[in-house]
Structures are given as structure tokens and as C-alpha cells.
Chain A
Amino acid sequence: MNTLSVTRATLLKDLRMEWRSKDAINSMLFFSLLVVVIFSFAFNPTAEESRLIAGGLIWVAFLFAAVVALNQTWARELRNQVLDAYRVSPAPPHALFLAKALGNFLFVVILEALMAPLFVVFYQLRSVGPVWQLVVVALLGTWALVVNGTFFAAMSIRTRNREIMLPLILFPISIPALVAMVDSTTGILTGEASPDFWIKLLLVYDVIFTAVCLLLFESVLNAE
């Protein structure tokens, strides 16, 4: 029972269940759409202005959508006592964590891919800088949010007000990653700044926090 097989099995199970119900992806999509529409009432930007504000807007929308996905990460496991079964099984805890984190990552990335054309349409968005850089930032940034988010979701299910606790503990720690995502996206869209430093920072953030999550997950899983 090695890490890879457990991770793959759990991940495939989650993806299959999500594909059948499409609960998470639907609520995330709708939520993001709402955020985009509401913000468009606040701003009525020209093409030039939209490039300046889109960075912040996009990531706020994706951040809120990610929280929707993260909040339900462990709900199914909790309902069916799967977590207890997991604690007594010989399967390595970080395999479960990795599967959950990868599942969330896929959901959010799919959401971003679906929302991107909408942003282009609603804000007349056209990138001055290379689009592949936007993709790199999106992937690194999404992992940054999702890896800590999956861990903190496991922590917050043991609190009295779990839905509000997750964003409350996730957002402050995610601030450097969010600043990186927003500023690099703006820099790429306007073509005025190189995102190199931010990409390096996101890489460092991802590596460090993935390691911390894997190291500490067992303690959190077993916390009574």
C-alpha cells in the first residue's frame, strides 16, 4: 500500500464522484460569475483600465470560488466516517492529503479555464504580455491557495464555525501568494512589469508550504 497507489485511488474516486454530481464545479462557477457581474457594476473600465484592475478582480473571484470548493473538501469524508477509517488504516496520511489537494487543484484550474473567456468578454481583456506567463502564474498561484486551503479545511472542520474559520485562517497566510498573483497578472496584462520575481516567489511559497503540509498532516488527521 504505497503512497502513489493510495493517492491515485483516492483522487480518482473523488473525481468520479464529482463528475457524477458536479456539485462543486457548478457552485464554484456560479459564484465566480456572480462576483464578476457584481464587480462590473462597480467599475465600467476602458480597455486600458481593465488591464489595470483585472489582476485583482480575477484573483478575488477565483479566491472566493476556491473557498467554496475547499469548504466541501472533507464534508463527504466526515459524513460517512471515512476519516476514522483512514486513521486506523495503514495507508499513509499524506497520500490522502495529496489526493484531496490535487482534486481541489483540478477543480479550481478547470474553473479558471472556464472563467477566462468570460473575463475577456466582460472586460474587453487582451494581454500585452505573453499568455503562457499567465498560465504559469495561474498554476503556481492556484496550488499555493489549494495546498494550504486543503490543510486548513481539515483543521477548520474541528471548529464550531467551520465555514467562516477556513477563510479566516487561510487568507492572512496566503497574502504573499495573493500579492504575487495579483501583481504579476497585472504586470503581464499591461506588459509593464516582468513577473519573474513573483513567479520565483510563488515557486518558493509552493515548495515550502507543500512540505509543511505533508509533514504536519498526520498530526492534524489524528487530532482527537
Chain B
Amino acid sequence: MKPILEVYQYSKRFDLHILNNKRINALNNVSFAVNPGEIVGLVGKSGSGKSTLMKSVYRTYLSTSGEIRYDSLRYGPLDLVQATDHQIIALRRDEITYCSQFLSVIPRVSAVDVVAANLFRRGLEREQARAQTRDYLYRLGLPEELWDAYPATFSGGEQQRINVARSIIARPRLLLIDEPTASLDQKTKDVVIDMITALKTGGTSVLCISHDPYTLERMTDRTIELKEGSIISNTLNLN
């Protein structure tokens, strides 16, 4: 099977010019592949390079060396390291979504509209997008009285559910998701895991950072472990 994502000899170094040109080697010569419909868990201690890797794929971080080959629906095989900013913008809209651990809230936009934005950006009619969003928020157990409120004042778990909902609602081809279940109770955790697994059935590939053994066990097909910026294991989960 042809991988949808292939990270090849990728390294990332941060050059901090304003701190006496201090250099931080965050990732060293990392290579791995993700197959279509595969859920890959990224594990490792804090500071091992998991988020750096994910942000490199999303092109929030620029590369120091190496390639990130992505098999795009729109552009065909493409090195995300070399892609133009406009190509990345189009891919982020149509194919690749990133769900960070923290919701960056936009003032005066309701929870429903924060989530629905990713649907009407793709051309879905506004009310239709809102209806679909309400269904997701209902399934994620977000109290109905919060749907039209502004997420800036929400609790951590509520914000996280908004964040998860907005990243999966548009059914991306590649989902990059950072700690999707970290501050959720068991029941909501299961809902999120079921939603992500359902995406996989629809062909979505997932790269997921997690510290939670339960989430990893239930969801992932393969686990990649990072230590000090290098991959130390890449194993299929046989369950």
C-alpha cells in the first residue's frame, strides 16, 4: 500500500538568534510512514519532539533538512517541506487538519460557529453546517446552553471538546491530533475515540499524540516512540 504520509530523514533545529544564537536540536533524522486509514500513536516523554513533529507536518514549523511526502488529493505527491504557502493553505482547508491541545478562541464567535466555520469554509451552507455541528456537540455531551455561548469562558474539558469537534467535523484525509482525550471523563473519552475510529473507517489517516494508555490501546494501529528527538521504536499493535 502506498503511504499517505512519509516523513523521510527529517530534522528540525531551532536557531534562537536573540539568545546568543542558541541552537536546539528538536528532531534528528526521523523517518516513518503512515498508511491510508491508519491511526498512528506518537508517544514519548515531554520534550521528546512529538509536538515538533506534528507541527512540522502541518508546516507551522519549517524544516532544517529532510522531506515530508504527502499524497495529496488535489496536488498528487507533494513534499510539504517544499510546498508553497498557498498550497499549504489549500491543503489545510481541504485535506489536513490539526487539533492542538489548546483552543485559541476568537472573541465574539459562538461555540457552534467556531466549529461550523470549518464546514462553511468548504462551501457548506450556513444553516446546514450549524445543524451538523449541533449534532456533534450533542454527541460530545457539551451542554446545550453552551452552544451559543463564547468558548473563552468555557472549562478546559469543554474547550477541548470544541477543539476536537472542529478538527474532525470536516472529515480530513489526514488528521493531526494532540492529546484528544487528556482532560475528558471516561464517557466522553469513549465518544471521542469512537468518532476518530469512525473517521478511519471513512479512510482518514491519523497521527495522534497521547499519554493515555487507554486511548492508545483502543485506538491506534501502530505506535511510534520518540526519545530526545529520535524514533526509538515503531511497532504494530496487534489487538
**A in complex with B:** no
Residues of A within 8 A of B (CB): none
Residues of B within 8 A of A (CB): none
